[in-house]
Amino acid sequence: MKGPRFDPPSAVRWIVHTLEDAGHETWTVGGAVRDVLAGRAAGDWDLTTRARPADVRRLFRRTVPVGIDHGTVGILARDGAMYEITTFRKDVETDGRHAVVSFSDRLIDDLARRDFTINAIAWHPIRNEISDPYGGAKDLRAGVLRTVGTPSERFSEDYLRVLRALRFASRYGLRIDPPTWTAAVAAAPHLSTLSAERIREELLKILDADRRPSSALDLYAASGAMSVLYPELDRLRSTEHWPVTTASVDHLPPGRPLLRLAALLHDLSPHETAQVLVRLRLSNAQTDAVAHRAGAPPMPGPEASDADVRRWLATVGPDHLPGVARVALARARVGAGDPEVVVASWRRARAVRATRPPLVVGDLAIGGRDLIRLGLRPGPAFKEILQALLDRVLDDPRRNRPDELEDEVRRMVETGDFGG
């Protein structure tokens, strides 16, 4: 059998040479090694070395203290990329959230603390030698995911490993070894102790990179992780909405995690969507984008009036049109709607938007200053008045002229009628 082809960037070889020439044993390890053995394109090349962080920083001109406490230094290479190199470590103590580690002189210690056998393989670029003490390459060939060491211990050291197991099993099409699976299921109730950030990043990695996120979601459900972390989705799973939801997520392409997240949350109530997004602690801008795409009212059809299309654009926010349309199209393509109608509706909405109609209060030809000039006193009524003006202007953009709107304001003040 031909051996696997390791073809790291030349910067990796340069880093290893530099350290080995100075007497420090250095290997590549983790995801890239696993990916090459799995016959896939390698992602980030991570390195592990016997050198201490201070040695690394002395040997390379441009370094970044990525996580000095954990022994991780970033090396900026001539190719413009940063390579992370971490001193061999061994676990001293772990409590499910934090690990106390100490540096070690042996690669084997470093591999022992890694989560799964397939992630505990090192490759030496100069000697072209593989170090695989836990049989990760064999597991990869046999299609099995298992922890390094006793599963229940490894999960209780760091519950994130449960989610990582689900992600790796799904991404590489691996069976989870029964003892590892049993321990993962038993550990699932503890997932609620993980930080929002780690939970979120796991989900986004699945949505970002997997060809079929639904297979990871199935494992989330089967393991109990979904009911602990995403009870709203767990509820949705028992409704007729779930097949379209998961199929639409799969249908959307990798590389657009937030779009896929919007598709995943599409059939939740606005309240449930908000709960999930708050729990995930996405940035405000991301929360806003996902909530708008997930919760947009149905797109007006190709025969809808211009005013209806403008009202819809004003509701969803014109910037969210492409995202909303992509989710709608994905759903239509998997059976929830007619793709041709969605495409036609999308075209139509784009055409209306291209006429640059006023869609938000800020687009109005008059503003708060003008209201003051007209003798009104600033206060909560301002917002109401401007909203009422926008409502008129959405009906007919030609009315968006200072004189017309001022007349309208005077009329409103006289009649006390601000209603739309």
User: What residues make contact with ligand ATP under the rule CB under 6 A?
Assistant: 30-31, 43, 46, 114-115, 119-120, 158, 160-161, 205
CA angle, 76 as apex, 111 and 58 as ends, to 5°?
75
Binding site partner of 161, from ligand ATP, Mg ion, none, Cβ cut-off 5-8 A by kind: ligand ATP
Work out how close the CB of 114 gets to ligand ATP at its nearest, in angstroms, rounded to a whole number.
4
Residue number with the shortest CB distance to Mg ion? 31
The arrangement of strands across the sheet holding 72-76 comes to 63-67, 72-76, 82-87, 46-49, 26-29, 122-124, 129-131
Residue 49: which of 68, 31, 69, 23 has the closest Cα? 23
Binding site partner of 231, from ligand ATP, Mg ion, none, Cβ cut-off 5-8 A by kind: none
Work out how close the CB of 35 gets to ligand ATP at its nearest, in angstroms, rounded to a whole number.
8
Work out how close the CB of 46 gets to ligand ATP at its nearest, in angstroms, rounded to a whole number.
6
CB of 149 closer than 8 Å to CB of 121: no
By beta-carbon proximity to ligand ATP, the closer residue of 87 and 245 is 87
Binding site partner of 399, from Mg ion, ligand ATP, none, Cβ cut-off 5-8 A by kind: none
Q: Give the C-alpha separation, 249 to 244, whole Å.
A: 9
Work out how close the CB of 258 gets to ligand ATP at its nearest, in angstroms, rounded to a whole number.
18
By beta-carbon proximity to Mg ion, the closer residue of 84 and 218 is 84
Q: Give the C-alpha separation, 90 to 209, whole Å.
A: 30
Piece in contact with Mg ion (CB under 5 A), picked from 30-38, 296-304, 315-323, 399-407: 30-38
By beta-carbon proximity to ligand ATP, the closer residue of 176 and 236 is 176
Number of residues that bind Mg ion (CB under 5 A): 2
* Using rule CB under 5 A, residue 44 touches Mg ion: yes
Sequence-distant (6+) residues with CB within 8 A of 252 are 259, 260, 263, 326, 327, 330
Q: Give the C-alpha separation, 15 to 59, whole Å.
A: 9
Tokens of 236: 């949705």
Tokens of 65: 């203290």
Work out how close the CB of 2 gets to ligand ATP at its nearest, in angstroms, rounded to a whole number.
24
Work out how close the CB of 205 gets to ligand ATP at its nearest, in angstroms, rounded to a whole number.
6
* Using rule CB under 5 A, residue 40 touches Mg ion: no
Binding site partner of 114, from ligand ATP, Mg ion, none, Cβ cut-off 5-8 A by kind: ligand ATP
By beta-carbon proximity to ligand ATP, the closer residue of 96 and 368 is 96
* Using rule CB under 5 A, residue 31 touches Mg ion: yes
CA angle, 107 as apex, 16 and 60 as ends, to 5°?
30
Tokens of 318: 């014109």
By beta-carbon proximity to ligand ATP, the closer residue of 48 and 345 is 48
Strand, helix or coil at 377?
Answer: coil
By beta-carbon proximity to Mg ion, the closer residue of 44 and 79 is 44
Contacts 24+ apart (CB under 8 A), 228-231: 228/188, 228/189, 228/191, 228/192, 229/191, 229/192, 229/199, 230/276
Residue number with the shortest CB distance to ligand ATP? 31
Binding site partner of 73, from Mg ion, ligand ATP, none, Cβ cut-off 5-8 A by kind: none
List contacts with Mg ion (CB under 5 A). 31, 44
